[in-house]
Homo-oligomer: A and B are copies of this chain.
Amino acid sequence: MARQIVIIGASASGIEAAAATRKKDRTAEITLITQEKTAGYSRCGLPFVIGGHIANFKDLVVYPQAFFKMLKLNLRTETKATTIDTKNKTISIQTKEGSCETLSYDALVIATGADAFMPPIKGREKRGILSLRTMEDGEKIDTAIKAGAKSAVIMGAGLIGLELGAGLMERGLKVTVIEMLPQILPQFLDADMAKLVQQHLEEKGMNIILNKVIEEFLGEDKVIAVKAGGEISRADLFISAFGVRASTQLAIDAGIPIGETHAIKTNARMETGVKDVYAIGDCAEAPNIITHRPTCAQLGTIAVREGKVAGVNIGGEYSLFSGVLASAVTRLFDIEAGNTGLTETAAQRNRIEVITGTVNSKTKADYFPGAKFIKIKLVIEKESQHIIGAQVVGGEEVTQRINCLSFAIQQGMTVRELAKADTAYAPPLCETWEPMVLAAEIAMMKLR
Contact = CB atoms under 8 A, between A and B. Distances in A.
Interface in A373-428: 397-404, 406-408, 410-413, 417-418, 420-428
A365 B42 contact: yes
A331 interface: yes
Contact of A368 (B48, B301, B366, B397): B48
A9 to B, nearest CB: 16
A329 B366 contact: no
A53 B369 contact: yes
Interface residues of A, number: 68
Given A404-B404, A407-B411, A432-B12, A399 B426 contact: yes
Interface of A: 12, 42, 44-45, 48, 53-54, 59-60, 62, 289, 299-302, 304-305, 321-331, 336, 338, 340, 365-369, 397-404, 406-408, 410-413, 417-418, 420-430, 432-434, 436
A234 to B, nearest CB: 31
Nearest to A330: B426
A367 B60 contact: yes
Contacts of A425: 44, 299-301, 328-329
A402 B421 contact: no
A299 B406 CA distance: 26
B331 A368 contact: no
Given A48-B368, A62-B367, A338-B424, 19 more contacts: A44-B426, A45-B427, A48-B428, A53-B368, A53-B428, A59-B367, A300-B425, A326-B422, A329-B429, A329-B430, A336-B429, A397-B397, A400-B400, A400-B403, A400-B430, A406-B421, A406-B424, A407-B408, A411-B412
A412 B410 CA distance: 11
19 contacts: A45-B427, A53-B369, A289-B422, A305-B420, A322-B422, A328-B425, A329-B426, A331-B429, A397-B397, A399-B426, A399-B429, A399-B430, A400-B401, A403-B404, A403-B421, A403-B424, A410-B413, A410-B422, A411-B411
A64 to B, nearest CB: 11
A54 B426 contact: no
A417 B429 CA distance: 28
A327 B432 CA distance: 12
Contacts of A304: 432-433
A420 B321 CA distance: 8
Contacts of A44: 365, 425-427, 432
